[in-house]
Chains A and B, each alone.
Chain A
Amino acid sequence: MLLNIEKLKIEAKGEEGWTPILHGVDLRVDRGEVVGLIGESGAGKSTLGLAAMGFAQPGLRFSGGHVRFDGTDLLTIPERQRRAFRGRRVAYVAQSAAASFNPAWRLIEQFCEGPEIHHTADRAASEAFAHELYAKMHLPDPEHFGLRFPHQVSGGQLQRAMVAMAMACKPDLIVFDEPTTALDVTTQIGVLAAIRQAVEATGAAGIYITHDLAVVAQMADRIKVMRHGREVEEAPTQQMMQAPTQAYTRSLWAVRDFRRPVRAVDRAATPTLRIKGITAGYAQHNVLNSVSFDIPRGATVAVVGESGSGKSTTARVITGLLSPSAGVVELDGQILPPRLAQRSPDQLRKVQMIYQMADTALNPRQTIRQILSRPLQFYRGLTGRARDVRLHELMEQIELTPDTFLDRLPGELSGGQKQRIGIARALAADPDFIICDEVTSALDQLVAEGILRLLSRLQDETGVSYMIITHDIATVRAIADDVVVMKNGQVMDRGQQAEVLDPPRHAYTRELLASVPQLDPDWLRRRIAEGVE
């Protein structure tokens, strides 16, 4: 057995002293085997991954258990000896390659640092090995790629370079800590393929940490599910995907099945919002190029695209934060003034927004009561008793107990609860139209599903129209009536969900869908066989 972690306990330093965050977790990895660690945020999976290197982040400490690497307990040997393991026997691939490469060093220097520290190869040999790995990972011009600085390389390439760097000393084990989470799906698939091929070629064992079921299904031989610093269950991948034994695991698996029933949308009526030929941007650079689409009354339109596609910029134009250089936005058939300051209070009221990060969307110094009261008073002039009645109604609509929550500060709420308050604040204005900007992407899957169900129910009750900005195809399938596919500031395709997605009508939509990992553990193998780079 290569790695044997037993009864590992780790504590975090807080205001009240040390509190446990890992409560005696076991983890075994055999040679050549990849173990997937999966769980929601706060499950302790990254902490466990770093512990495999005998490392605890600043502010954390080991408080019990063993980390035996090839027979040596990394927790009992002096730091100096631990260093001999790190990089040499067990290497690390971080989530953000852009932050984890030293900006002042060329990539090849960073690649060769490990072999230099551990004396595993001379300079010429490690450079040759780097070129070999770069080529294997389909990096452009492998002989000269390493001469670049990190900022001169794209995100996907940088992440591959980091995988290559982890292999520089031919380690026995590599810890992959969410290596593709920050990437777009069409970029992610290439990196996944590179990791898969490299691991197979070198025979290194791996610990693959992620919150994405479909990804872990591709990469791992065995999967361990974690929650709140404890193990939920562990099983070989096939078995875990098909027959999880624990209720928590089953609930995670079930999230992806949420589908809203197909509804009748009246596309003949005047749409709630119509975007006509919008071109907009910053300085001389156009981010949007004649973008047009409709939001039919009472419908949910998903605007889907990768980073840089212009979907958030579209939202800024609609809300009036950015004036377009051409085109107009119509609300209920009336042209909206381009600038926020020119819009009437009633126009402002009708268009509301819900944000991705509930943490930054609510003022941490205002109570929930203050946050929700303001729009009631501002738009409707509600005060006193009438306002309290409406406050209670709103809280019940978002399924939070008014008396428990109204006088709390946002900091005392969970992520999902905060997002619900964000929804209530939008509802408080009695809007016709709500922009939901990646409202579920910062949330854990179970919580995210709850939010999507809530949004659907509220639409059924109030008839409000939604524009859902997302990069996640699963979200689109779950609740969208219509879909707008964007890329590089242009609309690639738009129409009813089934027309656009089933089967994908536009070539880009096809690429997008084909890049989204599937739960089928053979999906990546098939895609590689089809020639993904």
Chain B
Amino acid sequence: MTRLAKLLRTMPPTAVFGLIVIVIYLVVALSAPLFAPHGQAEIVGAQFEPWGEVYALGTDALGRDMLSRLIWGARNTVGVALATTAIAFSLGAVAGLLAAALGGFVDLVLSRAVDVMMAVPPLILTLLALSALGPGVLNLILVVALLDSTRVFRLARATAMNVMVMDYVEAAQLRGEGTRWIILREVLPNISAPLIAEFGLRFCFVFLTISALSFLGLGLPPPMADWGAMVRDNAALITFGDITPLLPAACIAVLTISVNFVIDWMLHRASGLKE
């Protein structure tokens, strides 16, 4: 407990801010039905109602309550991004660890495949894959997760390789330990810090990618509330000097900035301790 207190005391203000924001988002996402005055698909009034007492943030192009959709959006958008990151991370980390531990042919094949996938900007491959597979939440999650897992693979493989050349791993190999023991007991505990930081970075990236795809009309299907799509649907208001369409975008930005602040502090701390 004292260690935790000390940790919190030595955190820079940016990281504290980030942590608080992340917690708020999680609470809102988990208990969206409690906070949202209306359902996400519910048409409650005329279109583009102004801000006021009835509709705190007005209504959208179809007359749905903006505030409610923002709150539901937290659940949908963050949920999809988290699921995608989790898949990308598991896939990339497992493949990366295996490539590092087994080496040889497995490593060669996996690494070359990843090289090819990373030789093209990810958004372009995503657009290509989505046009081939068609729209849908599942396709979206799988395509983004697969493409993003390449970055996790690179990091997991590189950090695991650094550990694999350590004498204590050689000692385990000489003892006769199998691949499973070496990955789980010798390598994994020593790369957990960079992997956790990477999870945060990947989340930000996935979150922005999915938001961008939603904004381009390729995200969650309507009428699900989704921050990227909400910007697109109401963008016309901006030319009339109304900033309401920027609110969902701001929601995205505040979360990614917060996560990045926390990760930045973690990485800084990890590198500082090494010196």
Contact = CB atoms under 8 A, between A and B. Distances in A.
A375 interface: yes
B168 interface: yes
B173 A340 contact: yes
Given A360-B166, A361-B168, A365-B190, A340 B174 contact: yes
Interface in A360-412: 360-366, 374-375, 378-379
A508 interface: no
B175 A348 contact: yes
Given A348-B176, A363-B190, A59 B171 contact: no
Interface residues of A, number: 27
A380 to B, nearest CB: 12
B167 interface: yes
A415 B275 CA distance: 18
Contacts of B185: 363, 366
A475 B185 CA distance: 35
Contacts of A67: none
A319 B174 contact: yes
Interface in A267-290: none
Contacts of A366: 185, 189
Nearest to B186: A363
A364 B190 contact: yes
A364 B191 CA distance: 11
Contacts of A355: 167, 170-171
B273 interface: yes
A363 B166 CA distance: 9
Given A59-B275, A363-B190, A364-B190, A425 B171 contact: yes
A345 B176 contact: yes
Given A355-B167, A361-B168, A363-B190, A378 B275 contact: no
Contacts of B174: 319-321, 340, 348, 351-353
A281 to B, nearest CB: 19
B175 A378 contact: yes
A321 B176 contact: no
A357 interface: yes
Contacts of B275: 59
Contacts of A425: 171
A461 interface: no
Nearest to B275: A59
B167 A321 contact: no
Nearest to A370: B185
A425 B166 CA distance: 16
Contacts of B186: 363
Nearest to B189: A365
A320 B170 CA distance: 11
13 contacts: A59-B275, A319-B174, A321-B173, A343-B176, A348-B175, A360-B166, A361-B171, A363-B189, A366-B185, A366-B189, A374-B175, A375-B175, A429-B175
Pick the 9 closest A-B CB pairs, nearest first: A365-B189, A361-B167, A355-B167, A363-B168, A348-B176, A360-B167, A360-B166, A319-B174, A361-B168
